Amino acid sequence: MVKKVFPKLMSELSQLPHSYSKPVELAIIGGTGLYDLPNLKPVARLTVSTPWGFPSSPITISEMADGFPVAFLARHGQHHDLLPTDVPSRANMAALKSLGVKAIVAFSAVGSLRQEIKPRDFVLPTQVIDRTKGIRPSTFFEKGFVAHAMFGEPFDLKLYKLIKEAIPAQGFLEGFDKENLEPTFHTKDKEDLTLICMEGPQFSTRAESQMYRSFGGSVINMSCLPEAKLAREAEIAYQMVCMSTDYDSWNVDEDPVTVETVVGNLKANSANACKMAEKLIEVISKEFETGKSEIGEDLKGSMKFSVSTNPKAVKKELLEKMHFLFPGYWPIQ
């Protein structure tokens, strides 16, 4: 699937300008199954260098008919050649921040941990449990500069509300599954929809999958963290949209998850991901164009007051590095 999509796409994008002068407030991060924004006009393709390296892919800037710009980043690389563990999330977040991004909608394929969340359903999670192994860099603050970001609500509440109100539970997502049921868009009713983020790249054993269900998990992926944590540190509003491909391996009535199963459902999810991204871009752009949007406003300046280290005791080289993300927060002596 990737090989069919990319040659033509890469050829077209390579001809675009390599600079863009306007600030870009909204970004879409594409996961497995969402590799571009086909219904928007691409106007630039940026290779952004950050103190944490280069992002997963060049960032494509596309414009709506009214000129509103949207950034698109392929999480796993132009050719899907990055394992979840190897995604340069710090560079991704820093690059988007440098463009002026205030809000990110990130798409990701997931396994379902609940019978009611069937393959090809979409889910808007409200909580996350970190089951990665601590080998992914998960903070911009390094040795010599300590900070603690608030993360009780891992997804932005205002962005969540906007998305929930924009997409109905039934009737928006197209197609039918093998039991002739239409896809559902799941949002929080009373209980949280909890995303488990595991290390991978292997899928879960049945025992692990059943354990995650006992944790209260709703869906499972390998991509949410440290992405959401770093977005919070970068003071960017962040919400993930999950696309169910399988029942993971907990369901003894289903065959254990295979790549073939995942790819088949990914193809079905891809069109709906593009449709949803297009709708959300329309809704969120209108919110920003009012000039009165509150999305991300409560995050502004939050990291300035989250540090424990006296900035005067921080090495100049480290402060200069942080200046890329937080210009003017801490004086460089």
What residues are labeled active site?
Answer: 246, 248
265 vs 269: CA distance, rounded Å: 6
Q: Which amino acid is at 71?
A: A
To the question of whether residue 222 is assigned a binding role by annotation, the answer is yes
Does the annotation list 108 as a binding residue?
yes
Report whether 223 belongs to an annotated binding site. Answer: yes
Handedness of CA 57, 257, 201, 149 (dihedral sign): positive
Q: Is 213 annotated as a binding residue?
A: no
35 is in an annotated binding site: no
State how far the alpha carbon of 41 is from the alpha carbons of 5, 38, 66, 73, 75, in Å: 17, 8, 11, 15, 20
Flag whether 150 is marked binding. Answer: no
Is 303 part of any known ligand binding site?
Answer: no
Taking residue 143's Cβ as centre, other Cβ atoms within 10 Å add up to 7
Q: Is 248 part of any known ligand binding site?
A: yes
Write a three-state SS string for the chain.
CHHHHHHHHHHHHCCCCCCCCCCCCEEEEECCCCCCCCCCEEEEEECCCECCECCCCCEEEEECCCCCEEEEEECCCCCCCCCHHHCCHHHHHHHHHHCCCCEEEEEEEEEECCCCCCCCCEECCCEEEEECCCCCCCCCCCCCCCECCCCCCCCCHHHHHHHHHHCCCCCCCCCCCCCCCCCCEECCCCCCCEEEEECCCCCCCHHHHHHHHHCCEEEEECCCCCHHHHHHHCCCEEEEEEEEEECCCCCCCCCCCCHHHHHHHHHHHHHHHHHHHHHHHHHHHHHHHCCCCCCCHHHCCCHHHCECCCHHHCCHHHHHHHHCCCCCCCCCC
Query: Can you say which residues are annotated as belonging to the binding site for substrate?
Result: 222, 246-248
Binding site for phosphate: which residues?
32, 75-76, 108-109, 223
Q: Which residues are annotated as a binding site?
A: 32, 75-76, 108-109, 222-223, 246-248
